[in-house]
Chain A
Amino acid sequence: MARKNKKVKTLAQRQARTGRLFVYPWLIGFLIFFAWPFIQSIIFAFSELDVSPDGYKVVFVGFRNFIKAIREDPTFIQYLTTEVGNILVDIPLIIMFALFIAILLNQKFRGRALVRAIFFLPVVVMSGALLYVLESNSLEQFNIGAQAGMALSNSPFVQGIDFRAFLIRITGNIPFILPIIDAIDRIYEIIWKSGVQILIFLAGLQSIPSSLYEVASVEGATAWETFWKVTLPMISPIILVNVVYTVIDSFTDYSNSVLRYILDVAFGRLQHGYSAAIAWLYFLIIGILLLVVIWIISKRVFYMNE
């Protein structure tokens, strides 16, 4: 077969060969730096690992690591639920905020360049370490500042603490008001985390053909109707992209407590097998969550070409 190919090669075959030439280096890298470690980490999650400078020993222990994570470890479940909760709350807030800002930034107005430059600042400046420094301090700082009445209570991330008390007092309805307060507390974080999402939405908005908007305006649609009937369906595939990106973004985020915990277990306490197990648990839960979200959204996604 191979010899026959060598003799007579159609254009398609030659094309395929050059294509493979360009793509296969990635496959090599994938096998070395991803696929093999990926399989190994499954093995490690089911075993106890003893790493020493001249290699490592693997002792199979079955599901013990997973049982330990779920039944015995007091902190892991707590970190996991907080982080999963955080992501669940962050996704809709970031998507809504980013879409809103992207639509505003897509319009023409004076000073647009400046506003855009400011809004994409987080893309460049935002790092897990920075957010960690800011966040870890704001609360203690508030307490200290409040006690001493110092100017330091003026924290970089203003939390909705006063506002919270006010809202609870006027409504007296805590369960109902809590999500709103939570959202207010998160506003800074949300704004700081949605830089790339705004960029992706902007790119998507630019690719909507202007003829659709012209038709809408000829038909007498209001801006509100245009948003729901033209912009939102056209942008819906990008919402999917942004949901996935938001989740990915949280993986390498230093302020993510699960990830810091995994690092601590692996290199602080040297329980390598156990850390692989909790990393897998985290991945599985996030993966299931992502699948559910994608499934819910993709039913409503509209593709123009289909």
Chain B
Amino acid sequence: MYQREELIAIWRRRISKIIISILKILLFLGLSYVLIRPILFMLSTALKSREDLIDPTVVWIPKHLTFENFKLAFNSLNYFNAFKNSLLISIIPAIFNVISCSMIGYGLARFKFREKEFIFALILFTLIVPPQVLLIPLYVFYQRFDILGIISLIRGEPLNLLNTYYPIILPTILGGGLRSGLFIYIFRQFFRGMSQELEEAAYVDGASPFQTYVRIFIPNSIPAVVTVFLFSLVWHWNDVFEPSVYIGDFEKYTLSLNLANIKAIITGGTQIWDPLLILPPQYAGAILVILPMLIFYLFTQRFFVESIERTGIIG
């Protein structure tokens, strides 16, 4: 049998444990509310009709459900077309990023050569330079796109790549582009952590380094591949900066670019406007833009979270 004091100590510990876990649950509830609230708020506002917006008794659930705002946003965003464009500039770079960055990461992680550390330092340097610094030179470069005069030689004049998606896609083929340094870093860390024996076994069996990379390293680093693919996809999807620089044609605008300009599109550029008319469709537009990624995330989130944890991004 327990002594009185022991029983008190046991109960005290138990109660403090319960209190701590209740506090933790409250904290998580509060923070989750903060995170989900903007999305729910946008959704509810977008579904409200005009009467509901001025009605103080309506807070979250609209009395007169309307899809007018969504229709307006859908048309203002030029949705189907912009969706196709967004898909184009996010999936293709994501695929190229996975291929090129994994190869570069493999080269940096698994081979020794003199300038390796220097190249890695350069890769990290590309990360901390804001893309705006390169804005104008790249703009004039893509306007008269030419490498060592080869294209002039064939076509007689340089290519104009502005208003196409090549400025966004081309750098990713060679392991450049939006935050590619980070992807190379992730792959390098991941490959460095893989066992030497696996690699040696492949070499003993007569595999070339490239075969080893394709057959051994890539299949064993699915978490890293998934992580890089997802990050690249999502960041390209959400990016406004690059498309806003290189794309001038409204037909070629992406969803996020349209979202950034949606107020001007709806008001037609006038300065005086009624916020009650503008805000709900604006929110509806925001919902429509994040919806594809949201659905995508719902299906992959388990994989996503687990993979990033196992990747161990850090050095």
Binding site for B on A (CB under 8 A): 12, 15-16, 18-23, 25-30, 32-34, 36-38, 40-41, 44, 49, 51, 53-56, 101, 104, 109, 113, 115-130, 132-134, 137, 140-141, 144, 148-152, 154-157, 187-188, 191-192, 199-200, 202-204, 206-207, 237-238, 241, 244-245, 247-248, 251-252, 254, 259, 262-263, 266-267, 272-273, 275-276, 279-280, 282-283, 286-287, 290
Contact in complex: A251, B131 (CB < 8 Å): yes
In the complex, what distance in Å separates the CA atom of A26 from the CA atom of B126?
Answer: 12
Closest 6 CB pairs of A and B: A19-B111, A29-B174, A22-B107, A127-B238, A37-B137, A16-B113
In the complex, what distance in Å separates the CA atom of A116 from the CA atom of B130?
Answer: 31
A25-B175, A151-B59, A207-B314 provided; 6 other pairs, C-beta below 8 A? A20-B111, A150-B53, A203-B311, A244-B127, A247-B128, A283-B132
Partner of B275, one of A130, A141, A273: A141
In the complex, what distance in Å separates the CA atom of A152 from the CA atom of B59?
Answer: 9
List B contacts of A150 (CB < 8 A): 53-54, 56, 276
Given the known interface contacts A51-B143, A53-B143, A248-B179, the answer about A203 and B138 at a Cβ–Cβ threshold of 8 Å is no
Given the known interface contacts A29-B173, A141-B275, the answer about A126 and B238 at a Cβ–Cβ threshold of 8 Å is yes
Contact in complex: B282, A200 (CB < 8 Å): no
Closest A residue, CB atoms, query B138: A37
In the complex, what distance in Å separates the CA atom of A210 from the CA atom of B113?
Answer: 35
Partner of B119, one of A23, A37, A130: A23
Interface flags for B242-278 (1: CB within 8 Å of A; 0: not) read: 0011000000000011011011000000000001100
Interface flags for B281-315 (1: CB within 8 Å of A; 0: not) read: 01101100110011011000110110011111111
Contact in complex: A127, B240 (CB < 8 Å): yes
The prevalent SS among residues of A at the interface is helix
Q: What would 29 A/B residue contacts be, using CB atoms closer than 8 Å?
A: A16-B111, A23-B104, A26-B123, A26-B184, A33-B138, A38-B137, A51-B139, A104-B28, A116-B305, A117-B305, A120-B304, A121-B35, A127-B237, A127-B256, A127-B290, A128-B239, A129-B257, A133-B283, A151-B59, A156-B38, A157-B38, A188-B38, A206-B312, A237-B314, A238-B314, A248-B182, A259-B130, A273-B136, A280-B133
List B contacts of A157 (CB < 8 A): 38
Closest A residue, CB atoms, query B230: A124
Contact in complex: A22, B241 (CB < 8 Å): no
Contact in complex: B132, A282 (CB < 8 Å): yes
In the complex, what distance in Å separates the CA atom of A64 from the CA atom of B208?
Answer: 57
Min CB–CB distance B150 → chain A (angstroms): 12
Interface flags for B170-194 (1: CB within 8 Å of A; 0: not) read: 1101111111001010000000000
List A contacts of B245 (CB < 8 A): 263, 267
List B contacts of A204 (CB < 8 A): 312-314
Given the known interface contacts A19-B110, A263-B245, the answer about A128 and B174 at a Cβ–Cβ threshold of 8 Å is no
Contact in complex: B34, A188 (CB < 8 Å): yes
In the complex, what distance in Å separates the CA atom of A29 from the CA atom of B122?
Answer: 12
Closest B residue, CB atoms, query A106: B309
Q: How many residues of B contact A (CB 8 A)?
A: 110
In the complex, what distance in Å separates the CA atom of A282 from the CA atom of B290?
Answer: 30
In the complex, what distance in Å separates the CA atom of A27 from the CA atom of B103?
Answer: 13
Contact in complex: B144, A272 (CB < 8 Å): no
List A contacts of B130 (CB < 8 A): 251, 259, 279, 282-283, 286
Closest B residue, CB atoms, query A27: B119
In the complex, what distance in Å separates the CA atom of A71 from the CA atom of B111?
Answer: 51
List A contacts of B241 (CB < 8 A): 128, 252, 254, 259, 263
Interface residues of B in 28-77 (CB under 8 A from A): 28, 31-32, 34-39, 41-42, 45, 52-56, 58-59
Residue B13 is within 8 A (CB to CB) of chain A in the complex: no
List B contacts of A286 (CB < 8 A): 130
Partner of B107, one of A20, A137, A192, A199: A20
Min CB–CB distance A129 → chain B (angstroms): 4
Min CB–CB distance B87 → chain A (angstroms): 15
In the complex, what distance in Å separates the CA atom of A27 from the CA atom of B237?
Answer: 26
Contact in complex: A49, B136 (CB < 8 Å): yes
Min CB–CB distance A293 → chain B (angstroms): 12
